[in-house]
């Protein structure tokens, strides 16, 4: 048996992958999405190989615009997932003054998590937020809000716990 290997440039692999995803994407669903939303879903499918994300991802009306504006304003991305950190363009983020911070694999975080009886993910994010003015990005119906965490916690509105544990997991 003979195996023939073909050398293909990474950008060509990505280009072909994106072409296939667009071709295979549910036509009706594609017509419902604006271009920015589709491109994000397309990138997630490319990274995971899982078309289920086309049906599972939801975006509020201004989420992408607000997110991009925050990144361009130099906000950092805090994550507890090493592969998420690996997939973010650090040079682009650095050009805007931000960085990707992921400490979940840090030995000190593992030690603290064991000591305090918490998960490494929880400890990593909590440690990153210490001493920072905490901001929360939230979704209320079709509105996106960005506010100080203390202000968000003082809101009289009832928020479903399963959907919004923002004070512990989302911060910019």
- pLDDT tens string for the chain (172 positions)? 787 778 888 889 989 999 999 888 877 777 888 899 999 999 889 988 899 888 888 887 778 888 888 889 888 888 888 888 888 889 999 999 999 889 999 999 999 999 999 889 888 888 877 766 656 655 554 455 666 666 666 665 554 554 444 444 444 4
Measuring CA to CA, how many Å separate 80 from each of 58, 90, 100?
21, 16, 10
Taking the alpha carbons at both ends of the chain, their separation in whole angstroms is 55
* pTM, two decimal places: 0.62
Q: What are phi and psi of 94, to 5 degrees?
A: -65, -35
């Amino acid at each position: 048996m003979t195996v023939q290997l073909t050398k293909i440039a990474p950008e060509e692999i990505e280009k072909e992958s994106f072409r296939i995803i667009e071709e295979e994407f549910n036509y009706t669903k594609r017509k419902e999405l604006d271009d920015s939303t589709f491109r994000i879903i397309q990138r997630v499918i490319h990274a995971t190989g899982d078309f289920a994300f086309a049906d599972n991802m939801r975006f509020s009306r201004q989420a992408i615009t607000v997110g991009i504006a925050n990144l361009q304003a130099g906000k950092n991305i805090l994550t507890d997932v090493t592969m998420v950190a690996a997939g973010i363009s650090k040079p682009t983020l650095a050009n805007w003054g931000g960085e990707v911070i992921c400490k979940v694999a840090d030995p000190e975080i593992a030690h603290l998590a064991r000591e305090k009886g918490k998960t490494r993910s929880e400890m990593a994010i909590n440690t990153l937020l210490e001493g920072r003015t905490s901001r929360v990005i939230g979704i209320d119906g079709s509105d996106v809000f960005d506010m100080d965490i203390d202000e968000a916690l003082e809101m009289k509105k009832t928020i479903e716990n399963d959907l919004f544990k923002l004070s512990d997991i989302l911060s910019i």
